Structure 1
Amino acid sequence: MMSSHTASSAGTAEPVQAPSPALASTEPYLQLDGITVRFPGVLALDQVSLEVRPGEVHGLMGENGAGKSTLLKVLSGVNQPAAGTLSLGGVEQQFTTTKAAIAAGVAIIYQELHLVPELTVAENLMLGALPNRFGVLDEKTLAARALHELERLGEKIDPSQQVKNLSIGQRQMIEIGKALMRDARVIAFDEPTSSLSSRETTQLFRIIRALRAEGRAIIYVTHRMDEVYELCDRVTVFRDGRRIDTFDAGAGLDRDRLISCMVGRSIADVYGYRTRELGDVQLDVKGVMGPGLREPATFSARKGEIVGFFGLVGAGRSELMKLIYGAVKPTAGEITLKGKPVRFATPRDAVRAGVALCPEDRKQEGIVSIASVSDNLNISCRRHFSRFNVLNGRKEAQTAKEFIGKLAIKTRNGETPIGTLSGGNQQKVILSRWLAEEIDVFLMDEPTRGIDVGARSEIYGLLYGLAEAGRTVIVVSSDLAEVIGVTDRVIVMKEGRLVGDLPKAQATPDALIKLALPR
């Protein structure tokens, strides 16, 4: 049986339809018992048992590779277990295909959305179940049903427009709509907020709370602890393919205990802050102005220093990093690097001067997902060992092998497509790209977004190593615990302005939030 600790209440939902007495039962609707999944040489799930009740948001947490995704694939019919049983409403099920799982009322909403961009919103909502009359698409019924579902979701979207024209948040709502139109009783969300804005996240949470009130059994996979405290009723921790424990979520759940369950060490060990001697000013930004800023930005950072940038979505942090990096042209101000004025017309100029950016959107701006680890790692430094525009494949392979070893990148070899790696390992490849160059200033925009706790600890260790080698590291993060735990001081931005510069001793959660919130 699962253990349960520290009673608490979930976040307050907006007024919605009350669940029926039958749906409000405390008996589990989804029950997994002794699920075991084996792949060649890997025990992916080891005797895992899990219960999800009707009207419950049940969080799943754990490092990448802990078994969360494999469990969702069992639930969706992609993977068949070697042992164990799966029951819905007390009836044992055997899903040999995804179609069978969908027919039984199971929906999985993955990070990578399964929509057809060229089709309309209405067609995507009813994909596989398009209404027809005498074998011809019934467009009137299709439009009416789609419009009804969009109104239910609270989305003002034209059902006739193509999905490719929608934002990420709107596309996610279409995925949820597909699940609801199939009357799914079990809905699993896999890292749903990783690409959403603050407004879209608020909307998503409203929908999930409404689904909970309707009595649906909801699984919510996340790396973000704040979401567990705000949204989930219970949370189950996985590690190395095993269920470690299940807790009641809420304010009474101790964060350190939760992290310790996930990675086997304390929260202090995860951040592992290390003091160091600081040198002279390495980067000096004076009066820089450009798109995304409302006032000229002025700050400096020293050799060996890790400077944090904190603020709410839209504060202008990422925009400032792109102005420094030359990705966006400043309209005013000057930048001094190691005591010498510099002007970056392009990012190439910045890299050659010793400034690199690890962007916020890793998949869209940081990697070429279909290219290999080696190609992604060497994409900048290959100019050093090519002659007459002819690539030196042997040198590139050696460089890739060297940094795969140095940074412990988990990949079969340098030829593996980078898109198949975990987020943490993709981030290590991007760091390796710049370590192969002569970089003095690292601009790290959300360096651990979508990365599990264990991989975060490794990334932090790499950042400390850079600082100890005399490099300057700037960490832009919306994770309050991260920006406090890793940096030497924190600069706060609000609505396109720099509004505070606090040394570590003064950078408390209350102080940072007070500066970051609008008046």
Structure 2
Amino acid sequence: MSTPLVEAQGIVKRYGPTTALADGRLTVLPGESHALVGRNGAGKSTLVTVLTGLQAADQGEVRFDGEPAPALADRDAWRRKVACVYQKPTVVPELTVAENLFINRQPLHHGLISWRRLRAEAASLLDTWDVHVDPEARTGDLKVEDRQMVEIARALSFGARFIILDEPTAQLDKREIERLFTRMRALQQSGVTFLFISHHLQEVYEVCQTVTVLRDARWIVTAPVAEMPRAALVEAMAGETVAEQAVHIRESDVSTSVLLDVRGLTSDAYQDIDLTVRRGEVVGLAGISGSGKTELAESLVGLHSPTSGTVQLDGEQLPFGDVRAALEAGVGFVPRDRHAQGLVFGMTIGDNATLSVLDRLGRFGFVRTDRRRDFAAGLIDRLDIHAEGPDQPVSDLSGGNAQKVVMARALASEPRLLVLINPTAGVDVKSKESLLARVDTARDDGTAVLVVSDELDDLRRCDRVLVLFHGRVVAEHPAGWQDRELIASIEGVDHGGGVDHG
């Protein structure tokens, strides 16, 4: 058996009290495409930061070709070993392909950049690795797949033969994905080794020889792809199916009227979406990153404008691209990032909680302080926000209580439709339960609720869960689903072992 090209053993990485990786292991043989899979939070990104020398492990060892990894400060040595092509490009869009390939190491002539040699060396590099891109093209004008190949070629020019591809297909269509895989296979034959990170499990079976699974920050299994049935792979990612999970399944009342009616909604992120939510119904949207689920939800609250299709809320046309108009139409919203989108940190709890209802708290553009304080105090009590009172700065709050303020503002306007994106992200267990209890209350009040989440616990409260894959609805699961069933749909693999291409 040949010496592993890359070997990581017993990798432990902590960030303060959080253990991001408790037992990271990886053994990649020369010339293979090795898949690294696991659900969000499994530890994949942390392992990549250690494998690329961006951060040192607290425990454990990384070896390349049987030799210890370079010192962290020796960036040139790391570049000769490994490179990562991320989902977000690291090229400079305004520069040409040639300039990006040799950035900070341009050939010089009498102390000045030799543009002729730069173009010639770029053309030679691209030709060596069979990358069909014009060296003089502006990099920002390239298609995503060509930009990725430029990044791969740049990495290979340093001498690296181990390339990490982090969600490389997230922004590609089916034909572009096939071309990327063809190029990967050709590069493998030329001696390049890949670590392929993807949520699309059918891609693992198409392009990889070996797969490693991480779960809950630990190594679970490494096996040849050909010997790992899809059901077993999903089981390894999900853990044992907990059949006895206590899930209260409500009988959905199909006699209630449809409140949200989405027909043929299409944008760059999703295609031809049909969706209904009834009064007092909670519908979940699940899918991997790049599935279109978040963009779909954000379109309903006015953050994006679809290119075609219609949305009716209680029989009236919902306006697109206008957050205020959506709020006035009866849409409440908890955004995906409370720090960047949900809170104004220079303001008090009361200010933040009542931003959506200022018109109710005064007349002629003036807000009565006493009415705002009383209204906010009621929300604090209703949401069980642990605070000194409405005048406390929201920046003083813990993550769970800060998220409750965001939820309080969404509920303050008494919405007919409540759209929640990752509503319990980064909160403690007790706060999570409190926030999800508010979802139950909204349902009981007859509100239509749409929950977009990567957390299975958030989706368990739903009457049904729709799964998006590559921008299309590919599955619907009624309440009571098993974890492995839903994860199989999310990852694009049906439970019977076939591939669901959407």
Give the TM-score band, short-chain normalised.
Answer: 0.5 to 0.7
Any residues of structure 2 matched to 1:17-166 within 5 Å, and which? 26-46=2-22, 48-97=24-73, 99-150=75-126, 157-166=133-142
**Distance (Å, rounded) in 1 between the aligned partners of 2:237 and 2:309:** 47
Name the residue aligned to 2:312: 335
Any residues of structure 2 matched to 1:445-456 within 5 Å, and which? none
Deviation at 1:271, TM superposition (A): 13
Q: Find 1:244's aligned residue among 177, 202, 220.
A: 220
Query: Is residue 355–residue 442 contact of structure 1 (8 Å, CA) maintained in 2?
Result: yes
- Per the normalisation by structure 1, the TM-score is 0.64
Any residues of structure 2 matched to 1:262-277 within 5 Å, and which? 262-266=237-241, 274-277=249-252
Do structure 1's residue 344 and structure 2's residue 319 form an aligned pair? yes
Deviation at 1:52, TM superposition (A): 0.7
Do structure 1's residue 283 and structure 2's residue 259 form an aligned pair? yes
Name the residue aligned to 2:204: 228
Greater CA deviation, 298-307 or 427-436? 427-436
Q: 1:298 to 1:220 in 2, by over 3 A?
A: closer
Cα distance per residue 1:351-401 (max 9 Å; x no partner): 222236889xx7xxx888598686999989623258758999999999899
Name the residue aligned to 2:357: 384
SS in structure 1 at match of 2:156:
helix
Q: 1:397 to 1:50 in 2, by over 3 A?
A: farther
Q: Find 1:439's aligned residue among 415, 425, 450.
A: 415
**Distance (Å, rounded) in 2 between the aligned partners of 1:400 and 1:161:** 56
Cα distance per residue 1:2-36 (max 9 Å; x no partner): xxxxxxxxxxxxxxxxxxxxxxx643111223334
SS in structure 1 at match of 2:54:
coil
Give the partner amino acid of 1:281: S
Give the partner amino acid of 1:88: F
Q: 1:31 to 1:350 in 2, by over 3 A?
A: same
Corresponding residue pairs, total: 457
Q: What percent identity do the matched residue pairs reach? A: 29
SS in structure 1 at match of 2:68:
strand
SS in structure 1 at match of 2:205:
helix
Cα distance per residue 1:204-237 (max 9 Å; x no partner): 3333333333333322233343333333322222
Name the residue aligned to 1:410: none
SS in structure 1 at match of 2:155:
helix
SS in structure 2 at match of 1:87:
strand
**Distance (Å, rounded) in 2 between the aligned partners of 1:397 and 1:153:** 65
Any residues of structure 2 matched to 1:498-509 within 5 Å, and which? none
Deviation at 1:53, TM superposition (A): 0.4
Cα distance per residue 1:115-160 (max 9 Å; x no partner): 3333222211222322222322121222233345556777664433
Query: Is residue 356–residue 442 contact of structure 1 (8 Å, CA) maintained in 2?
Result: yes
Q: Find 2:164's aligned residue among 188, 193, 199.
A: 188
Deviation at 1:75, TM superposition (A): 2.0
SS in structure 2 at match of 1:116:
coil
SS in structure 2 at match of 1:129:
coil
Query: Is residue 357–residue 413 contact of structure 2 (8 Å, CA) maintained in 1?
Result: no
Deviation at 1:264, TM superposition (A): 3.7
Name the residue aligned to 2:278: 302
Any residues of structure 2 matched to 1:351-362 within 5 Å, and which? 351-355=327-331
SS in structure 2 at match of 1:104:
helix
**Distance (Å, rounded) in 2 between the aligned partners of 1:213 and 1:463:** 56
User: Could you list the runs of 5+ residues in structure 2 that have no partner in the other structure?
Assistant: 387-392, 427-431, 454-458, 480-484
Q: 1:120 to 1:325 in 2, by over 3 A?
A: same
SS in structure 2 at match of 1:78:
coil
Q: Find 1:177's aligned residue among 123, 132, 153.
A: 153
Q: 1:434 to 1:145 in 2, by over 3 A?
A: farther
Q: What's the Cα RMSD here?
A: 6.0
Give the partner amino acid of 2:194: I
Deviation at 1:54, TM superposition (A): 0.8
Query: Is residue 38–residue 45 contact of structure 1 (8 Å, CA) maintained in 2?
Result: yes
- Per the normalisation by structure 2, the TM-score is 0.65
Q: 1:86 to 1:434 in 2, by over 3 A?
A: same
Q: 1:154 to 1:29 in 2, by over 3 A?
A: closer
**Distance (Å, rounded) in 2 between the aligned partners of 1:71 and 1:316:** 27
